Amino acid sequence: MEKIYGVSNWQLTIRRAEDHVEILRAVTCDAKAILPDTLFDLPVTVLGSYALSPMAKPIVGEEIHVSSGGDGEWSNRTLQELTLPSTLTEVQRDIWDAFESSLQFTSLILFIPYIVSITAFTLQDRNRRLREIEDDYDKAMQERLATTRGLISFYDERGELQLSVTKDNLLYIESADNYIYIWYMKGNLPKKLMLRNTLKRTAELLVDTNVMRCHRGYMVNMEQVKVLRREKENFYLELGIEGVKDIPVSKTYGETVLKWLSM
């Protein structure tokens, strides 16, 4: 039996192909064990049927001893936590079924319940994660395209598009706890849309636009500002549109607002 060194102790029966390795049988003496991602510089992509079951019969294949320096009972009966190879693309039998038989076998002998936790990067998980990455990419491209076309898009807390409005028609955004009010022009009249999202999150999404924070509870489209007015110690932004209130400017954001208006 060929011996190599790894992070966990394993007695493996494998089958080597030109571009991958299949694990046909895997037995450990560790309570917490990690199956290797690669063997002989080849990715481990297949885990065979009943490969981890303590009751499985021996399988003909290439025998390998992976050692991390420990020793104990080689049966998988003490195995409590397992990390599967991140390179896996196929599990020929559901891994939970294999461990269920392992648990039943162990319980009959020891009468001690224990929990087995598995971290597995299966093909199904990979496909799901790939779809999520593709969805995020599509959304980012849509946002970039919308910005290029002069549109600003607003999403709710679930990431669903609720409103796209031209830069010229967007007025300001007002915070209302876990909601925001988006004020914009529709025809010649100001309209508002209530959206479940926070002003902080919205500010992060609009960081590359001229819609900026002027107050803890407000963001304003600076291109719509006509007048900066001072009343005693307070400043206000006037948009010059009937039915649209003046927007307060706090000391925290006053310098940033003044700098933008002086450009």
As a whole number of angstroms, the distance between CA 1 and CA 5 comes to 13
CA angle 97, 101, 105 (to 5 degrees): 165
Please name each of the domains of the chain with its CATH number: 2-121 (no CATH), 151-261 (2.40.50.1020)
Average pLDDT over residues 225-231: 91
Nearest Cα to Cα of residue 90 among 117, 123, 54, 112: 123
Question: What count of Cα atoms within 13 Å lies in the side-chain half-sphere of residue 210?
Answer: 17
Name the residue with tokens 């050692």.
67
Range list of H helices, the chain: 95-110, 123-148, 199-205, 251-261
pLDDT tens, residue by residue, 204-227: 888 888 999 999 999 999 999 999
- The model carries a pTM of 0.46
Of 78-82, 185-189, 234-238, the one with minimum mean pLDDT is 78-82
| Residue 97, SS3 per DSSP | helix
In this prediction, residue 139 has a pLDDT band, given cuts at 50, 70 and 90, of low
Looking at the DSSP assignment, which residues form a beta bridge with residue 42?
Answer: 39
pLDDT at 182: 95
Least confident of 114-118, 209-213, 250-254: 114-118
The predicted-structure confidence for 58-89, as pLDDT tens digits, reads as follows: 678 899 999 888 777 887 777 777 888 888 77
Average pLDDT over residues 183-187: 93
**What's the burial of 125, exposed, middle or buried (CB within 10 Å: 0-12/13-18/19+)?**
exposed
Q: What angle do CA 25, 127, 135 make, to 5 degrees?
A: 160
The count of C-alpha atoms lying within 13 angstroms of the C-alpha of 51, restricted to the half-sphere facing its C-beta, is 24
Q: CA of 49: how far to CAs of 37, 66, 106, 178, in Å?
A: 18, 20, 19, 50
Furthest CA-CA distance within the chain: 89
User: Pick from 146, 133, 138: which is nearest to 208 by CA?
Assistant: 146
